Structure 1
Amino acid sequence: MATQLARRAFLSLSVGTTTFFLSNKWLQPVSAKPTAFVMRSNQVQLHNGVTLNYVENQPSFPDSDTIIFLHGYTDSWRSFERNLPLLSNKFRILAIDQRGHGNSSRPSCCYTQADFAADIDAFMTAMKIEKATLVGHSMGGFIAHKVAVDYPQRVQRLVLIGAAPSAVKNPVLKELNDTVQALVEPIDPNFVREFQASTFYKPIPPAFLDTAVAESLKVPLMVWKQALAGLIVEDHAMRLDQIAAPTLILWGDRDDIVTLQEQQALQTQIPNATLKIYRETGHGLHVESPQRFVRDLYRFMRRSQSVVKHD
């Protein structure tokens, strides 16, 4: 798969022990005044023993709507580094490292969609979050709609980036799984770089790609294997019609992993779903088009606000 897919932010990031200052100066017009967005890093132990690392902003209001970002396979919260500086403090914003990823704990088992989804429910309990908008990219999208099926009371809105109803019959992921199951320690950094680069169609800042590679190399080989094996065998597509939350489906038409037909199936199966297609964009559309992604996210949240409040 890596050979099949291979084709082709810079964020000013000052890292302290617990605080990240993300400047979006380079994303703004020359005449715009630069802004700073502060994210604090922390960890929380869940009732199941898993410890999740996460970053969180300082919302302007105590009752702000909450947005939780769920990264993809072998990524971390830093997958959203090009988006976080563009977000508003009128929302409570959290981006997590899922189990086995980033700086979260690495239990020897288990890494199915059900396990990841249960972590989100437990995380929300630990953080005293009743409901949230879940934004999931790739594997994070599968986990997000799994949460919406298994824990519907938790999901206020759903945003799926480069996801699909199921990965069970996806030939690209099957080929990747065959490759990953054959890997041995240590994981070849060149393989990881090729894998990460293959998910983008538009050029991305070299520094962002370097970070993505470094975050993937943190992930133990057993997590690479278990998480992907779990992804391609678990299928809850027949339950997607149970999702009541307003849903935004985002897909790049140069995505080599999931297809337009899969996006249309998501739109058909989820009752209150809208599909937006990004032209000349790959699997990592939130990285390739960060400003447009944030605009679309905000528009979706505004338009669905009356539906959410009525519900």
Structure 2
Amino acid sequence: MKNLLKTLNPLKLILLMAIIMFAAAQSNGQQIKPSGSGYIPVNGIKVYYEVYGEGKPIVLLHGAFMTIEGNWGQLIPELSKTRKVIAIEMQGHGHTPFSDRKLDLATLASDVDGVMNYLKVDSADVVGYSMGGSVAYQLIIQSPKRVKKLVIISSTYKSSGWLPQIANAFKNMKPEMFANSPMKTAYDAVAPDKTKWTMFMGQMLAFVGQTFDMGDSNIAKITSPVLIISGDNDGLDKIELAKTYQLLGGGVSADLGPMPKSHLAIVPSQSHVGLMTQTKTILGYLDGFLK
């Protein structure tokens, strides 16, 4: 590991440690067990899901390289007190098996749509973090009636929504850089086939390095209320983020007209990784917006 750290430039080192911190966060764990879980056949793969609590449904979509527990372990116990929480692990992540099926946002969003169909959930509030936020944007564009309210945490609908150094950071990373990492340990703990690790990492590094743009016009057509939560230093380009909020009807003078139905929250002194550790802050925003 020490030799690896010496070979990485500072930006790549920061990103690598961020991923490791996410994997290590699983040690905090969930304090409750799901009321239901299993695999759902969609689009040629089996997608793993967990259900907690009762009430109006809320769907949680994790970030890249993450699991349900690692991403949402601290939020699920609180959300499930009043809501039916449906958490999904996307292709190759956590309990969901690796597949050589082409990995793209449209396909992942279609998987979420398929899971909701299988569980007979016509519509739900949807919360997505990082990669999961991009999938959530794609879902509401592809299937707008599925999403009642949308929550996007530290994410964007286009590559240019990230600062340039973030968009370019993964281009030279290799799967072998992550051998013997806590992220590999977390993968081995739940993956149905541990031999797929290197293939999964190669697939994911290629996926996160791709450019994408769902289109400003598609974002402007969203009619569901949207809550955007971003850390002030989470790698998102805040100029582009302000433009996104304007496309959603925000960025106006509410003293001279109605308050927009979509909200924007910039959390101070937070990075991309650190933002997800602010459980009380995120819950406070969710509580106010979803109710």
Q: Give the TM bin, normalised by the shorter chain.
A: 0.7 to 0.9
- 8 Å contact from structure 1 (residues 46, 119) kept in 2: no
Question: Relative to 1, partners in 2 of residues 1:189 and 1:41: Cα closer, same or farther, differing over 3 Å?
Answer: farther
Q: Distance in 1 between matches of 2:28 and 2:221?
A: 42
SS state at 2:145 partner: helix
Q: Distance in 2 between matches of 1:134 and 1:298?
A: 14
Question: Relative to 1, partners in 2 of residues 1:295 and 1:101: Cα closer, same or farther, differing over 3 Å?
Answer: same
Pick from 265, 270, 276 the counterpart of residue 287 of structure 1. 276
Question: Relative to 1, partners in 2 of residues 1:129 and 1:286: Cα closer, same or farther, differing over 3 Å?
Answer: farther
Q: Does 1:260 align with 2:251?
A: no
Q: Does 1:188 align with 2:183?
A: no
- 8 Å contact from structure 1 (residues 252, 282) kept in 2: yes
Q: Distance in 1 between matches of 2:268 and 2:188?
A: 26
Q: Distance in 2 between matches of 1:74 and 1:215?
A: 13
Gap runs ≥5 in structure 1: 14-21, 24-36, 197-209, 303-311
Report the residue type matching 1:69 in the other structure. Answer: L
Question: Relative to 1, partners in 2 of residues 1:296 and 1:278: Cα closer, same or farther, differing over 3 Å?
Answer: same
Question: What TM-score, normalized to structure 2?
Answer: 0.77
Q: Distance in 1 between matches of 2:43 and 2:26?
A: 36
Gap runs ≥5 in structure 2: 1-10, 250-260
Task: Give CA deviations for 1:211-258 in whole Å, capped at 9, x if unaligned.
Answer: 59978995712332342144x234333310111111100011121x21
SS state at 2:207 partner: helix
User: How far apart are residue 108 of structure 1 and its match?
Assistant: 0.3
User: How far apart are residue 88 of structure 1 and its match?
Assistant: 3.6
Question: Relative to 1, partners in 2 of residues 1:266 and 1:213: Cα closer, same or farther, differing over 3 Å?
Answer: farther
SS state at 1:72 partner: coil
Q: Does 1:76 align with 2:55?
A: no
Tell me the residue number matched to 1:122. Answer: 114
Question: What TM-score, normalized to structure 1?
Answer: 0.73
Tell me the residue number matched to 2:90. Answer: 98
Tell me the residue number matched to 1:221. Answer: 201
Q: Distance in 1 between matches of 2:80 and 2:134?
A: 26
What percent of counterpart residues are identical? 21
SS state at 1:130 partner: coil
Q: Distance in 1 between matches of 2:228 and 2:34?
A: 26
- 8 Å contact from structure 1 (residues 75, 101) kept in 2: yes
Report the residue type matching 1:54 in the other structure. Answer: Y
User: How far apart are residue 165 of structure 1 and its match?
Assistant: 3.5
- 8 Å contact from structure 2 (residues 157, 213) kept in 1: no
Tell me the residue number matched to 2:4. Answer: none
Pick from 293, 297, 309 the counterpart of residue 286 of structure 2. 297
Matches within 5 A, 1:104-143: 104-143=96-135
Q: Distance in 1 between matches of 2:95 and 2:220?
A: 35
- 8 Å contact from structure 1 (residues 189, 213) kept in 2: no
Matches within 5 A, 1:204-243: 220-230=200-210, 232-243=211-222
SS state at 2:95 partner: coil
- 8 Å contact from structure 2 (residues 105, 135) kept in 1: yes
User: How far apart are residue 46 of structure 1 and its match?
Assistant: 2.8
Tell me the residue number matched to 1:158. Answer: 150
Tell me the residue number matched to 1:45. Answer: 40
SS state at 1:277 partner: strand
